[in-house]
Amino acid sequence: MNLFHTRGVPAGLIALLFAVLARVMGSVTDGGALVGIAVAFLLMITAGFSGFLPLLALFLLTVTATRWRRRRKERLGLAERSGGRKGSQVLANLGVCGFCSLPVLWFPEFSDLLFAAAMAALAEAAADTVSSEFGQGSSREAYLIVGFRSVPVGTNGAVSLPGTLAGVIAGCLVAWVSAASGVVGWDWVPVISIAGAAGMIMDSLLGATWENAGRVGNDAVNFVSTAFAADLALLTGLIFQRFAR
């Protein structure tokens, strides 16, 4: 808990400034800003101030992708609503990252595994958002991931080649920033990248099935998909550790 004494105040200030910037830009609502403060603060307390960088990378990728060809998305009725993402939306994308980072305070010996899972959740959030936004802004056709029949762009569970490629690249960028900033080792980059891409596919599968059937909402789909990516990275790490002994 000494981390709170050494990093608490500066981490809180950085997190607050980050949230204010996001709010001024119209990227989040007040509720979304509060969730962002909590996750940013937690990452800096547990991983050091460099832990903020992967979250910043996710934010920049999200803002860029959301504003990519916004007029086209507005004509299609797919543009993000004005006012930014609500607290529930931000929590659905960042909550798993926070939940994975929190135990580091009490179990620092497991920090490698926990941070890898947290970064995989961020990679999935980046991959999912960028794939959706880029695909909606650039693709003329999309295909439902279940059955691959042609559907209108923006349909839940629809995928496109440009969107998928952009999503994979976004997830890899978050993984690279995570290693470059020292949050995880470089050997975790492939694991985080693959977990992020797998979570993106899971998101599309859930969207095409449960969400289209009205069983769950988009926030639940996002949360489950980030949890899937985190679990996959965690399981992979445990298997590698097992065979490395």
Q: Where are the domains of the chain?
A: 2-244
Instruction: Mark 112-141 as b/e (b = at least 16 C-beta within 10 Å).
Output: bbbbbbbbbbbbbbbbbbbbbbbbbbbbee
The β-bridge relationship of strands 158-159 and 150-151 is unpaired
pLDDT tens figures, 19-66: 999 888 888 899 999 999 999 999 999 999 999 999 999 999 998 988
Q: Which of 240, 130, 242, 113 is nearest to 196 (CA)?
A: 130
d(CA 45, CA 49): 7
Average pLDDT, rounded, for the chain: 89
Locate 197 and state its tokens. 């891409």
pTM of the model: 0.92
Contact 63, 27 (CB under 8 A): yes
* pLDDT reading at 154 higher than 80: no
Which region, left, alpha or beta, applies to residue 107 given φ > 0 means left and ψ of -120 to 50 means alpha? beta
d(CA 75, CA 85): 20
Locate 98 and state its tokens. 């926070």
- What pLDDT, on a 0 to 100 scale, did the predictor assign at position 66? 82
Q: Extract the runs of DSSP E, i.e. beta strands, from 22-145.
A: 142-144
Name the helix (H) or strand (E) containing 193. helix 189-206
pLDDT tens figures, 93-131: 999 999 999 999 999 999 999 999 999 999 999 999 999
Cα distance between the two ends of the chain: 31
Q: Is 140 helix (H, G, I), strand (E, B) or coil?
A: coil
* pLDDT reading at 78 higher than 60: no
Which region, left, alpha or beta, applies to residue 214 given φ > 0 means left and ψ of -120 to 50 means alpha? left
Locate 215 and state its tokens. 């069983």
